[in-house]
């Protein structure tokens, strides 16, 4: 059975060959692997990557080499007044990308920081220029190739300035440093389809800055907005990578950070993000424990049975969220609607993790009926369609629900999911291409599997 998780999953039970790595898809293992066997490609292991210091020290958080190399060869053609155009484009983009309810006017709120932070100002120009390169209304007033040139030159300058700050400042207290690392990740979501650059900035940039400051240091409005927006993107990264995150620690729990006044106002979106973080942590634990247990001993293993109990308890918490949200929150609110898409996707994800193995006793693990599965898929597609068409919520935060809907969708609805992913891509978030390619590969695998069964 092919495991259905995110296309960026890096759990140890998957080892990608060169062909799968080049296509940026999961490799099912074996020589030849299923993809290489199906496409008649040579199945060769990847070369061992040279280790870096990124995972050992935050100060080694290095510039993106591709951007730095590009900056050397790009023409210096940027007029001084062009920066105002790109900064306006940056502010407009953030207005169209409301990662949370409180993200409104964040471009305006960041302006004072941008006046004092070269790294943040250059990054604002980079994001604005990259967005401008995709919108004809702005391109009309500039030479066709200039916005892309400005974007990567400014990106490179921002990284260089950030490197200097990391060497000379207490980065845990610098709001501009935290925002710069976060927005570097947003730039990568717009510039690079694999998601690798985005993950690097989340893991070695924003995560490190926030942890240095601690969970109770983010009390100002701007700091709180950063942490809340980071939680949304980090929850996506963790669950699509099959990874854990420091946000799963109790001291970083949303419920532990809110005040009594805040707790009196229900926030379904924040609660479901918290559940995604906890589910991602449990998912990684589940696969690690089961894979470390010999196959013949799994059905009797006390650790595996404990996983079944913990998974059932987590499923109950997810279901309870649904009941509470239906009673407390208006469904017309677009963020509440998106939170329901997360809920349906989380149910599909959590139950599918258990069906990947056959070591569970009947009735001891969460499971969905075919009717429930189809209803959840239809609801996800409907919510994502409405969100993309009629809100300022960025489609990039819908990639997890669409990925899970695609893993369970019938043939007749595949084109709708591909259309939604294409709309997200067209809005500027090219990382959607990876989800699209991964789903197409998964569907091809399922068709081949079905054909093989029919021929037996």
Give 251-308 as a DSSP string.
Answer: GG-HHHHS-HHHHTS--HHHHHHHHHHHHHHHHHHHHHHHHHS-GGGGGG-HHHHHHH
* pLDDT bucket at 115, cuts 50 / 70 / 90: confident
Q: In terms of pLDDT, which residue wins out, 455 or 58? A: 455
pLDDT of 291-314, one tens digit each? 999 999 999 999 999 999 999 999
pLDDT of 156 higher than 50 = yes
Same structural domain, 192 and 220:
yes
Q: What is the pLDDT of residue 452?
A: 77
Under a CB-based contact definition with an 8 Å cutoff, are residues 229 and 98 in contact? no
Alpha helices (H) along 192-267: 196-201, 207-213, 221-241, 254-257, 260-263
Decide which of 320, 340, 360 is a domain's last residue: 360
Whether 237 contacts 199, CB under 8 Å: yes
- For position 15, what pLDDT does the model report? 52
CA distance 438 to 436: 5
Does 204 lie in the same domain as 87?
Answer: yes
**Mean per-residue pLDDT of the chain:** 81
| Whole-number pLDDT of residue 277 | 95
pLDDT digits (tens, 9 = 90+) for 9-41: 544 444 567 777 766 666 776 667 777 777 777
Least confident of 60-64, 228-232, 272-276, 409-413: 60-64
Q: Are residues 142 and 282 in the same domain?
A: no
| Helices and strands in the chain: count of H runs, count of E runs | 21, 0
Tell me, yes or no, whether 142 and 224 share the same domain.
yes
Report yes or no on 65 lying in a domain: no
pLDDT at site 257: 56
For 166-175, 192-201, 237-246, which range has the lowest pLDDT when averaged over its residues? 166-175
Whether residue 270 sits in one domain with residue 256: no
If asked whether residues 374 and 415 sit together in one domain, one would say yes
Residue 280 included in any domain: yes
In a domain, 55, yes or no: no
pLDDT of the residue at 258? 54
Over residues 284-297, mean pLDDT: 93
Tell me the residue range of the domain where 225 lies.
Answer: 75-261
* Residue 195 shares a structural domain with residue 81: yes
Residue 58 lies in a domain: no
Q: Tell me what pLDDT residue 139 has.
A: 43
Mean pLDDT along residues 324-352? 83
pLDDT band, residue 82 (cuts 50/70/90): low
* pLDDT tops 90 at residue 256: no
- pLDDT higher than 70, residue 201: yes
| Domain presence at residue 61 | no
What is the share, in percent, of the chain residues with pLDDT greater than 90?
Answer: 49
Among 309, 334, 360, where does a domain finish? 360
Which tokens belong to 323? Answer: 């009941």
Q: Which of 313, 338, 360 is the last residue of a domain?
A: 360
Q: Is residue 60 part of a domain?
A: no
User: Which residue in the block uniquely carries the two structure tokens 């060497």?
Assistant: 167
pLDDT at 24: 62
Domain match, 120 and 25 both: no
Output 287-291 pairs: Cβ under 8 A, ≥24 positions apart.
287/11, 287/13, 287/242, 287/353, 288/11, 288/12, 290/357, 290/359, 291/12, 291/13
Name the range with the highest mean pLDDT among 89-98, 195-204, 376-385: 376-385
pLDDT at 449: 81
How would residue 54 be classed by pLDDT, with cut points 50, 70 and 90?
Answer: very low
Which has more confidence, 213 or 339? Answer: 339
Position 54 in a domain: no
CA 242 to chain centre: 11
* Structural domains in the chain (count): 4
Which pLDDT score is estimated for 81? 52
pTM score of the predicted model: 0.80
- Residues 140, 253 within the same domain: yes
Q: Tell whether 42 and 86 lie within a shared domain.
A: no
Asked whether residue 66 is assigned to any structural domain, the reply reads no
In this structure, the answer to whether residues 316 and 391 fall within a common structural domain is no
Q: 231 and 134 in one domain?
A: yes
What is the tens place of the pLDDT at every residue in 416-430? 999 999 999 999 999
pLDDT computed for residue 382 by the predictor: 96
């Amino acid at each position: 059975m092919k495991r259905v998780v995110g296309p960026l999953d890096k759990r140890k039970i998957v080892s990608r060959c060169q062909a799968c790595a080049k296509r940026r898809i999961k490799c099912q293992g074996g020589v030849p692997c299923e993809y290489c066997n199906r496409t008649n490609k040579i199945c060769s292991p990847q070369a061992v990557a040279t280790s870096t210091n990124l995972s050992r020290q935050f100060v080694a958080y290095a510039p993106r080499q591709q951007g730095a190399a590009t900056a050397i060869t790009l023409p210096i053609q940027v007029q001084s007044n062009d920066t105002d155009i790109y900064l306006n484009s940056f502010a407009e983009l953030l207005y169209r990308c409301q990662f949370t309810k409180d993200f409104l006017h964040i471009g305006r709120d960041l302006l004072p920081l941008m006046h004092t932070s070269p790294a943040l100002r250059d990054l604002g120009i980079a994001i604005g220029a990259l967005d401008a390169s995709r919108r004809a209304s702005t391109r009309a007033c500039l030479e066709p190739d200039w916005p892309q040139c400005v974007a990567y030159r400014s990106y490179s300058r921002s990284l260089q300035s950030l490197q200097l700050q990391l060497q000379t400042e207490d980065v845990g207290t610098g709001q501009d440093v935290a925002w710069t690392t976060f927005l570097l990740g947003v730039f990568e979501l717009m510039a690079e389809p694999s998601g690798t650059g985005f993950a690097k900035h989340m893991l070695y940039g924003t995560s490190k800055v926030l942890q240095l400051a601690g969970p109770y240091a983010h009390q100002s409005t701007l700091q709180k907005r950063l942490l809340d927006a980071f939680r949304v993107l980090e929850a996506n990264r963790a669950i699509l990578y099959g990874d854990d995150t420091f946000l799963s620690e109790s001291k970083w729990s949303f419920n532990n950070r809110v005040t009594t006044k805040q707790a009196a106002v229900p926030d379904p979106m924040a609660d479901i993000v918290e559940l995604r973080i906890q589910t991602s942590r449990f998912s990684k634990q589940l696969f690690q424990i089961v894979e470390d247990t010999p196959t013949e001993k799994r059905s009797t293993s006390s650790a595996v049975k404990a996983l079944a109990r913990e998974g059932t308890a987590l499923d109950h918490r997810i279901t309870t969220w649904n009941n509470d949200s239906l009673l407390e929150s208006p469904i017309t609110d677009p963020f509440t609607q998106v939170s329901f898409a997360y809920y349906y996707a989380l149910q599909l994800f959590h139950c599918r993790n258990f069906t990947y193995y056959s070591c569970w006793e009947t009735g001891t693990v969460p499971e969905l009926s075919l009717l429930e599965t189809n209803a959840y898929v239809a609801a996800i597609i409907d919510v994502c369609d409405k969100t993309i068409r009629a809100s300022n919520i960025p489609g990039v935060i819908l990639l997890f629900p669409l990925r899970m809907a695609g893993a369970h969708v019938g043939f007749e609805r595949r084109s709708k999911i591909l259309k939604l992913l294409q709309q997200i891509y067209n809005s500027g978030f090219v990382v959607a291409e990876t989800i699209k390619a991964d789903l197409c590969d998964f569907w091809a695998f399922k068709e081949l599997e079905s054909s093989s069964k029919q021929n037996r």
